Structure 1
Amino acid sequence: MHTFFRSARLTTTHLEFTVRAATALELDVYSGAALRGSFFNAIWTRFCVNKEAQTCAQCPLHTSCPVSALVAPLREESSWGQDIPRPYTILPPLDGARVYEPGERFSFGMTLMGDIVQLLPYILLSISPLEAEGLGHRLPQNGGQRGHFSVEQVEVYHPWSGQRAILYQSGDTFPNRPVASVTIQDCLQRAEQLDAERITLEFITPMRIIDREHLVKQPLLRPLLQRLLERYLALERHYGNPTLTLSKEERDILLQQAEATTCSANATHWQELTSYSNRQKRATPISGLQGRATFTGPLAPLLPFLTIGELIHVGKNAVKGNGHYRILTEH
């Protein structure tokens, strides 16, 4: 595994948007899908120069267009397009379903994967159309329109060290500040500090995993690790080191070690949720497992991957913010 991680290149860059409601604004329990849609529309509206194209793939600018790199997976209908992991995840507000009154602040996050951080200026320069786009439910007090907010600042932060730096403040004309990303070396250092025989995971947002054609409604480490390996290697392939692979034998050994662990404490529950897709014109399930689970067993070889999973999420709807977990450490 040491040789494997020496070749790993994927980084993650973590952004937090602090915003103030300009009108009444109502969000669901998990608003990741709504935020993803708003970002998509804002970036596409601001920068696409060929909106007549039905899809990005049909546009002659497709291969060199930075907007396509950010939003094409959302626009493509081909199986090839669907197989490309999105280069970001949304971290929705965790205040539950509620209405924000004018003047109230709330925050949400976005994690950028690998070299897609080069396109950060496009995201920050889309703030104006993002504010104009509107968000959440249509409300009578807004004349049947969605709520609006203004972005007060955007920070880049390190999820483990707590270090923060302001990238953007309201009124900035062109954000151009250095950005710090989390590296695989950071993940390895965190893994070395963890207990090699006992670990507690807190599932912050619903984790939806399908294993052998069945939903996993109990905390099991082998299905989690299997989906995590698939997601991580796909992200490396597209946004990190395209040649990085694990052999079938290496994967099987890791999964066998995960299978040998035991869930020694289970404080999870199944959260039933649906999300309406404007693209598919139907409601889709985003239910998943939430709460805390403690696993015991031979964890040492698995810990680097589990720390990576804290950053990239795991399972279905990760781009919308689902599958976000953290490793709880004793202080």
Structure 2
Amino acid sequence: MLLGCHPSAPPSAAAVPDGDTTSPGAGATTIAEDSPPAAAERRVHLTFDDAPVMSEPGDGLPGPERVMAINEAIVGTLRERDVPASVFFNCSRLQPHERSVELWAAAGLTVGNHTDTHAKLSKVPLDEWMDDVIRCDQVLRERLPRPPHWFRYPYLDQGDRVELRDEAARRLAELGYANAHVTVATTEWLLAYVYREASRRGDEALRDEVVAAYRQHMVEAVEQGWALAEHEVGHGTAQVALLHVNELAADHLGEVIDDLRARGWTLVGLEEALDDPVFDRPDHYVGRGGLSWLARIHDESEPRPSYWFGEEEARLMQRYGELWRPPAGE
């Protein structure tokens, strides 16, 4: 089954979806406030999930030539603008004679594991889920000059029980993987599907509307990640933004990069971003919701702020949700 990597729980303005919990004793943890960078530099890293291409159930995959064209456009934009991005593969989507893994690696970009089939940790037995991780690991080891190190959880689901969350993390570490955390849990995936549908229909007005919404959404999402960091740790932190490999990025990623730089953001590599002390804080969240790391570290003894990423997903779903899954027969 081919699934887009939707980071949030079902659209809701709630900060934590119903039924989700925090780790035992989380509220009792005390950590000294992290020291901000001297100049509070606004740094962001761009990550791209669901490679070689984002798809939904029933969509099928484009042919290898089209898949390569999408990846070549994204990688070309990143190279032209000197952006050290990362990409995470669902290896079962790779087709014969399609060399997207090698394309990203040859460009000096970071290539990571996103499981073989985009399996959701909380919905399958752990052993089965780890088999999915290992299958993709084997493919990447064959195609990369060095073993992959970074892992991205599908749907950002790290487990709906403390024991599951911690055991999955332990097994990933045994394989040599580290978690490529996300702080900017965008709804870019929905806009990308609507862009695809508008292109299929030849609806230029809708395409233009979606491009404008995409540019606004991406900049505002990164800014909201900074604001959430200020609330949780007292100052802004490095941000890690979630995007996907799709036609919208292939056609308009350059504009987003230019917009971010115009707002004072420096685009940095994954290791530099994750070196921020905020990523050393304990994870207090247990649940199926695909929350920002900055929401996962929230001390439940303190008031939780509104969760902009969930509110924004609900707003965009209200506007575009019908186009995401067009009525049968349309």
Which TM bucket (shorter chain)?
A: under 0.3
Q: Which has the higher contact order (CA 8 A, sep 6+)?
A: 2
TM-score in terms of structure 1 length: 0.26
Q: Which has the higher strand share?
A: 1
Indicate the structure with greater helix content: 2
